Amino acid sequence: MKVRAVILAGGEGSRLGTLTAKRTKPAVPFAGKYRIIDFPLSNCINSGISDVMILAQYRPHSLIEHIGAGGPWDLNRDFTGGVRIYTPYKARGASDWYLGTADAVQQNFRFIKNNSPDLVLILSGDHIYEMDYAKMVAYHLKQEADLTMATIRVPSAEASRFGIVGISEDMRVTSFVEKPARPPSDLANMGVYLFSLEVLNRALLDDHNRPDSSHDFGKDILPRLVNTGARVFAYPYDGYWVDVGTVASYWQAHMDQLNDNPPFDLNDRRWIIHTRTEERPPVWIAKGAVIENSLLADGCEIANGARVERSILSPGVKVGAGAIIRESILLTSTRVEAGAVVERTITDKNVVIADHVKIGAIALTDEPTITMVGKNSIVPAGYVIEPGAIIGTDVIPEDYSSNRVRSEDYIQTKRLAHEV
């Protein structure tokens, strides 16, 4: 049984703010050393699927550099599968920017059907979870399904954020509605679809010829297949799964990994999450530094008297003497200088938090207030950045109008693109 995986990785992820200002959502770093796309990619290779296509669109450069030839995932193959990245191309009246998830697949279907795979596994490239797709394939074949979709129970209060599935006793899908205002159940679509090649081909062609379609799997393809009597089945999943589509959910997913019993074990050698990493020296922690309940990646340096509490530090992060980091996520090569206090803050790569800065705060509220600092930005010495403020990308000291940035402020660079 030949299975080809297609990972949809073109999302802009605008709700992630500065984290997606210079990269697509699946390329956003996660848990110290990974990228979000590492999870579906690793699920593929761990499930025995070595034929993978990635459909990219928005700011794909970081993603393309990260995937490379696919070596870290054992996908640098030519004749037995491998990984290939496709971006929108302009042909004679045939192709353009993807209009929706289904349109992305339709525009690349001539590549997808090459060598005639029996099944096509369509995945979202921006979810954090571990799943054995081989079990889903076996379930699909047993049910003699046209389409199998992975489903998960979600809290009723959050169900309106998802596509909601209605099922019969034998798990056949009887109804599907995308993000209903009043959800009829708590069984949610996970964005993991297993199609027979011919069923997918017909569904895409039918959708392409409908001028009123938004060309989206959730809004168009799935409801139409269910309503026309296709054999669509729900595959139940009860593990950890999260769409890190907002700053709050991204931060919370990191904090989940710091629990005494994390939702999944990144050290599980039976299900390795593969990634591309650069060589860095071991972590260095000075005498007198305190590290509590945190993850530190290679190359981190923690100076004398510094404290790191319930935080995740990516490769090459440096924390100066007496600095305090609490409930924060610091991405690669962030530098926090002496005496600074960083709380509930997410910094992108190459950020400088100068000495004695106070940024963010931990408040006892139902929803955490997260402060953001964009890639390559500098927060000058002694500044106060209130909780919830946003410092954009490439911000330098001259871009600030005050040494105190209010919660509602969004500081952006005043320089032109070619000056950055």
CA distances from 341 to 229, 270, 295, 383 (A): 59, 39, 18, 11
Specify which residues 149 forms β-bridges with: 193, 234
Domain parsing of the chain, residue ranges? 3-256, 284-419
Rounded CA separation 144/196 (Å): 10
Q: Which two tokens stand for residue 258?
A: 């710091």
Rounded CA separation 1/18 (Å): 42
Fold for 3-256, please state it.
Spore Coat Polysaccharide Biosynthesis Protein SpsA; Chain A (3.90.550)
Rounded CA separation 247/35 (Å): 15
Query: Considering just the CA atoms, what is the radius of gyration of the chain in Å?
Result: 23
* β strands within 179-231, DSSP E: 187-196
Rounded CA separation 256/164 (Å): 25
Distance from CA of residue 342 to its chain's centroid?
24
Which H helix or E strand runs over 101? helix 101-107
In the chain, what are the helix, strand and coil shares in percent, each to the nearest 5? Answer: 25, 25, 50
pLDDT tens digits for range 332-374: 999 999 999 999 999 999 999 999 999 999 987 778 999 999 9
pLDDT at position 365 = 73
pLDDT tens digits for range 54-113: 999 889 999 999 999 999 999 998 777 899 999 887 555 555 678 889 999 999 999 999
User: 10 Å Cβ neighbour count for 304?
Assistant: 13
pTM exceeds 0.85, yes or no: yes
Long-range contacts of 264-268 (CB under 8 A, 24+ apart): 264/129, 264/130, 264/239, 264/240, 266/31
Assess contact for 127 and 10: CB atoms under 8 A. Answer: no
pLDDT at position 420 = 87
Q: Is domain 284-419 in CATH 2.160.10.10, yes or no?
A: yes
pLDDT at position 412 = 97
pLDDT in single tens digits along all 420 residues of the chain: 899 999 999 888 888 999 999 999 999 999 999 999 999 999 999 999 999 999 998 899 999 999 999 999 999 987 778 999 998 875 555 556 788 899 999 999 999 999 999 999 999 999 999 999 999 999 999 999 999 999 999 999 889 989 999 999 999 999 999 999 999 999 999 999 999 999 999 999 999 999 999 999 999 999 999 999 999 999 999 999 998 989 999 999 999 999 999 988 899 999 999 999 989 999 999 999 999 999 999 999 999 999 999 999 999 999 999 999 999 999 999 999 999 999 999 999 999 999 999 999 998 777 899 999 999 999 999 999 999 999 999 999 999 999 999 999 999 999 988 888
Rounded CA separation 352/318 (Å): 10
